[in-house]
Chain A
Amino acid sequence: MSDLLLPPEKRYAKLIEEKFQEDGTELQILNLGPTHPATHGIFQNIILLDGERVVEGEGTVGYIHRAFEKIAENRPFYQINVLTDRLNYCSSPINNTAWWLTVEKALGIEIPKRVQYLRVIVMELARIADHIICSSVMGVDTGALTGFLYVFQYREKIYEIFEEISGARLTTNMGRIGGFEREWSPKVFQLIEEFLKEFPAIWSEFEGLLTRNRIFMDRTIGVGGISAEDAINFGFTGPNLRAAGVDYDVRVATPYCSYEDFDFEIPVGTSGDCYDRFCVRNAEIWESLKIIRQALDKMPEGPYHADVPDYYLPPKEDVYTNMEALIYHFKIIMGEVPVPVTELYHPVEGGNGELGFYLITDGSRTPYRLHFRRPCFIIYQAYNDIVKGGMLSDAIITLSSLNIIAGELDA
């Protein structure tokens, strides 16, 4: 039996003994997590330390595994949306939209242009919220708490926008098959305008605080680097891959939701270290702001949902007065909607990389199989390789720069 199959404590006990016999060095085991301030979520890393250097580490994940794939096989399509909320809970609207896009592709529903633009706006807002967390928390982990508190009020403002759209802040459950549940109120657009007006100044100030800060640069440059080749081999996507210098972005490679209508750039780094990841995320925030501005300016006229009575719930007052609407309402709630037999993989650019839904339908009201391709899960397996041989404090900063979200890790 290979040693790797043993629980890490037992495997390490052997290594410690060997090392002690060899030259008298005493290695130590450190539990990083499951609840450690640096993990920002519930997952564990059992690290073998030689003084302050990381000899080896092993990730133990699954502490918040909620069997979403199993639950999804037992729920009608519209009820699965709430599960996707809880994948990357820092940017729920991206997951929600990704799910609706997958279902709509399976059902062959055409989406009005206006809905696509509205979705682009929420997705980019969610991306900004996601990147705000990651970048500012990197500041916290290097000892700069001020910037974090300063920009977090703008994440709050984004959540206020989500609240105005969907009624919820963190786990948004936003949208329906074919569009949104209700028209966006003028308040939403007003809040977005306010955000676009105020946020750039705040974000410039935050960048000014850290980007050319000597202490921050010393802590992050050359730390936790990964080469482009390794990153591709490890299945990296999203900002972590682009920091290594590969310009792969799902929004450009396989455009969805009319992303081809917008003019934006894909920021890339060179060395794939923590500093590059920080810079790529910050640059992406500016690109997202650009996309939102364009979407607002080019916003087409039209309805806020597709005309698909088979799948889209009719207005409640019609249900009480109109026979047709009542039938549709009943059928949709009971999950009795026509579903073709099909199989598809739909990727979107999530906060951390390529978020893909692989859906197999067999014509019944539940998916036959639904698999989430979760970027964090795939990225996190490279972590021990990246931190090996470095300092423990560098391992902490690497962890926060990879932006591992526990919800997405475990599904």
Chain B
Amino acid sequence: MALDNTTLQKKLIETFGMSVSEFHEQHGMLSFEVATNATHDVLKFLKENAEMNFNFLTDVCGVHYADLPSEKQLAVVYHMHNWIDNVRVRFKTFLDIKNPVVESATDLFRSANWQERETYDFYGIIFKNHPQLKRILNMDEMESFPLRKEFPMEDPGRTDKDDRFFGRTVHNS
């Protein structure tokens, strides 16, 4: 029987209980949240369980939710893809911005290596057990994490440009 979102959700709740929550479907893709300490287990379960077969880690990236309380301001988003039944799934884990640590997926998927380095580079998220967690796109000497919302895109002291009029502010109200 081909895997569908309902069975997937049922199986995940059966296996992980309280660690998985907030199931919802958006544009046909099942999304849910995972407790930070269960992330690696969920990845492993989705990859190795005979019914799940999520053999492909499509994407790993970070998000900074600046409006949420600080203990869940950062998120790591995983996209996985089951090529046998052609099902995609997305899950997030929220991290404390003061101590953003999550277990690395590099032992399961080698494709996670650079993607996690990129996430570290931009958001400062520490991936535990990552073999080479250093900056990848920015220079090593950099100290800030540029994709966090508080990092200004341009020199804030500039007076020759006023971007407010062209919808170019992040929080335009």
Distance A378 CA – B59 CA, assembled complex (angstroms): 9
- Which residues of B sit under 8 angstroms from A345, Cβ to Cβ? 29, 58-59, 79, 88, 90
Smallest CB–CB gap between A62 and chain B, Å? 4
Distance A234 CA – B115 CA, assembled complex (angstroms): 11
Distance A381 CA – B27 CA, assembled complex (angstroms): 31
Smallest CB–CB gap between B51 and chain A, Å? 19
- Which residues of A sit under 8 angstroms from B83, Cβ to Cβ? 248, 253
**Chain B 72-101 interface 0/1 with A at a Cβ cutoff of 8 Å (1 = within):** 000001010001001010100000000000
Among listed B10-18, B34-42, B126-134, interface-contacting one: B126-134
Q: Provided the pairs A65-B138, A74-B170 are in contact, do residues A344 and B58 lie with their beta carbons within 8 angstroms?
A: no
Once the chains bind, are A70 and B146 in contact (CB under 8 Å)? yes
Once the chains bind, are A381 and B26 in contact (CB under 8 Å)? no
- Counting residue pairs across A and B whose Cβ atoms lie within 8 Å, the total is 118
Contact of A390 with B by CB under 8 A: no
Contact of A210 with B by CB under 8 A: no
**CB-contacts of B135-158 with A (<8 A):** 136-140, 146-147, 151, 153
Once the chains bind, are B59 and A381 in contact (CB under 8 Å)? no
- Which residues of A sit under 8 angstroms from B29, Cβ to Cβ? 344-345
Q: Provided the pairs A62-B136, A356-B58 are in contact, do residues A342 and B165 lie with their beta carbons within 8 angstroms?
A: no
Closest A-chain residue to B121, C-beta based? A62
Contact of B57 with A by CB under 8 A: yes
Closest B-chain residue to A409, C-beta based? B137
Smallest CB–CB gap between A223 and chain B, Å? 21
Closest B-chain residue to A248, C-beta based? B83
Closest B-chain residue to A73, C-beta based? B170
Distance A382 CA – B110 CA, assembled complex (angstroms): 9
Residue of B138, B139, B168 with most partner-chain A CB within 10 A? B168
Contact of B8 with A by CB under 8 A: no
Smallest CB–CB gap between A402 and chain B, Å? 14
Contact of B23 with A by CB under 8 A: no
Smallest CB–CB gap between A373 and chain B, Å? 5
Residue of A76, A235, A347 with most partner-chain B CB within 10 A? A235
Once the chains bind, are B167 and A335 in contact (CB under 8 Å)? yes
Contact of A74 among B27, B63, B169 (CB under 8 A): B169
Number of interface residues of A (CB under 8 A): 49
Distance A69 CA – B138 CA, assembled complex (angstroms): 13
Contact of A2 with B by CB under 8 A: yes
Contact of A371 with B by CB under 8 A: yes
Once the chains bind, are A343 and B31 in contact (CB under 8 Å)? yes
Contact of B61 with A by CB under 8 A: yes
- Which residues of B sit under 8 angstroms from A4, Cβ to Cβ? 131-132
Contact of A365 among B151, B153, B167 (CB under 8 A): B167
**Chain B 37-68 interface 0/1 with A at a Cβ cutoff of 8 Å (1 = within):** 00000000000000000011111010110000
Q: Provided the pairs A62-B138, A232-B55, A342-B27 are in contact, do residues A74 and B153 lie with their beta carbons within 8 angstroms?
A: yes
- Which residues of B sit under 8 angstroms from A172, Cβ to Cβ? none
Smallest CB–CB gap between A262 and chain B, Å? 19
**Chain A 1-42 interface 0/1 with B at a Cβ cutoff of 8 Å (1 = within):** 010110100000000000000000000000000000000000
Distance A143 CA – B111 CA, assembled complex (angstroms): 32
Smallest CB–CB gap between B10 and chain A, Å? 23
Smallest CB–CB gap between B62 and chain A, Å? 8
Distance A334 CA – B169 CA, assembled complex (angstroms): 12
- Which residues of B sit under 8 angstroms from A76, Cβ to Cβ? 166-168
**Chain A 320-356 interface 0/1 with B at a Cβ cutoff of 8 Å (1 = within):** 0000000000000011100000111101000000101
Contact of A358 with B by CB under 8 A: yes
Smallest CB–CB gap between A359 and chain B, Å? 10
Distance A345 CA – B58 CA, assembled complex (angstroms): 10
Contact of B86 among A234, A254, A378, A410 (CB under 8 A): A254
Once the chains bind, are B86 and A366 in contact (CB under 8 Å)? no
Once the chains bind, are B153 and A70 in contact (CB under 8 Å)? yes
Contact of B111 among A61, A65, A233 (CB under 8 A): A233
Once the chains bind, are A2 and B167 in contact (CB under 8 Å)? no
Smallest CB–CB gap between B58 and chain A, Å? 6
**Chain A 357-376 interface 0/1 with B at a Cβ cutoff of 8 Å (1 = within):** 01010001110110101000
- Which residues of B sit under 8 angstroms from A235, Cβ to Cβ? 56-58, 109-111
Q: Provided the pairs A342-B27, A377-B114, A378-B111 are in contact, do residues A371 and B59 lie with their beta carbons within 8 angstroms?
A: yes
Contact of B113 with A by CB under 8 A: yes
Interface residues of A (CB under 8 A from B): 2, 4-5, 7, 61-62, 65, 67, 69-71, 73-76, 105, 232-235, 248, 253-254, 334-336, 342-345, 347, 354, 356, 358, 360, 364-366, 368-369, 371, 373, 377-378, 380-382, 410-411
Query: Can you name 14 A-B pairs with beta carbons within 8 Å?
Result: A5-B133, A61-B137, A75-B167, A232-B55, A233-B109, A235-B57, A345-B79, A347-B58, A356-B79, A366-B167, A366-B168, A366-B170, A373-B79, A378-B115
Q: Which 5 residue pairs across A and B have the least CB separation, nearest first?
A: A235-B111, A335-B167, A62-B137, A365-B167, A4-B132
Interface residues of B (CB under 8 A from A): 26-27, 29, 31, 55-59, 61, 63-64, 77, 79, 83, 86, 88, 90, 109-111, 113-115, 118, 122, 131-134, 136-140, 146-147, 151, 153, 163, 165-172
| Known A65-B137, A253-B83, A371-B61; further 16 A-B contacts with Cβ < 8 A | A2-B131, A61-B137, A62-B136, A67-B153, A70-B153, A105-B27, A234-B111, A235-B110, A248-B83, A343-B31, A345-B59, A358-B77, A373-B58, A377-B118, A381-B110, A382-B110
